[in-house]
Amino acid sequence: MNTFAILASDVVAITVLAYGVYFVRHRRREMLVAYMSLNIGVMAVAMVLANTSVAAGLGLGLFGVLSIIRLRSSALTQEEVGYYFASLALGLIAGLQPDPWWVAPLIAALIVAVMYVADHPRLYANNRQQTITLDAAITDEGMLTDRLELLLGADVQRVIVERTDLVLDVTVVDVRYRVHSSPRAGAQHPMPAHDEVGVVSTAMGSR
């Protein structure tokens, strides 16, 4: 009976995590199969290993091997990496069936709750990150920050210069910034002329 309750709690937890939290927020359908199959597969293997004398070592080894294989097989966002490890942890905990039996459902509920809060869209909703290519070689940090704030119409919080090419007159930066609360706030900042600054956004995300 206790085993059934643990397995049922794991199925409920991964279903809520994958379909109720992840997909609602990120809408990447193929990851649902990955999260569900990973969770159930790890749980099944961990249940078998739990009956052997080397369960702990093999369990940790399985955790590490699966992490390396999955993370090297395709590009994942940092949020998806978090969901991936949460799915893996849920399956491993349920498969090992800690004593007393209610520990596994309690930890599963805690993991789902933490992921729900940590990835909530209202948490730091105005924070953004982009990799930007400017058609100007700017070596002065203050001038670079001012140019980015003018271009983005936002408060730049950190700038990481990835490349400054004085020959091609190009600057590539990783910029973290906070947009204004009002959706029309950016209208107060005029966009520079095309021959003054050009920009190509190669990556963007919320942080």
Give the pLDDT confidence score for residue 81 in this predicted structure: 87
Confidence of residue 42 (pLDDT cuts 50, 70, 90): confident
Whether 187 shows a pLDDT value over 70: the answer reads no
**How confident is the prediction for the chain on average, in pLDDT?**
83
Mean pLDDT of 64-84: 72
pLDDT of residue 64: 65
Distance, in Å, from the CA atom of 69 to the CA atom of 85, rounded to the nearest integer, reads 13
Whether 93 shows a pLDDT value over 60: the answer reads: yes
Higher per-residue confidence, 100 vs 45:
100
Residues 6+ apart with CB under 8 A from 111: 13, 17, 86, 89, 90
Cβ atoms within 10 Å, residue 125: 12
User: Taking 50 as the threshold, does the pLDDT of residue 95 lie above it?
Assistant: yes
Task: Please say whether the structural domain 127-206 has been given the CATH code 3.40.50.
Answer: no
Q: How confident is the model at residue 180 (pLDDT cuts 50, 70, 90)?
A: confident
Query: Does the pLDDT of residue 118 top 90, yes or no?
Result: yes
Distance CA 89, CA 63 (A): 8
This prediction has a pTM of 0.73
Residues of the chain with CATH 3.30.70: 127-206
2, two tokens:
């206790």
- The length of the chain in residues reads 207
| Residue 140 phi, psi (nearest 5) | -85, 120
User: Confidence band (pLDDT; 50, 70, 90) for 2?
Assistant: confident
- Cβ distance 156 to 174 under 8 Å? no
Region 130-150: mean pLDDT is: 93
- Determine how β-strand 170-179 pairs with β-strand 127-134: antiparallel
Residue indicated by tokens 């359908």: 29
Percentages helix, strand, coil for the chain (3-state, rounded to 5) are 55, 20, 25
Peptide bond into 100 cis (omega under 30): yes
80-99: average pLDDT = 91
Q: What mean pLDDT is predicted for residues 138-162? A: 94
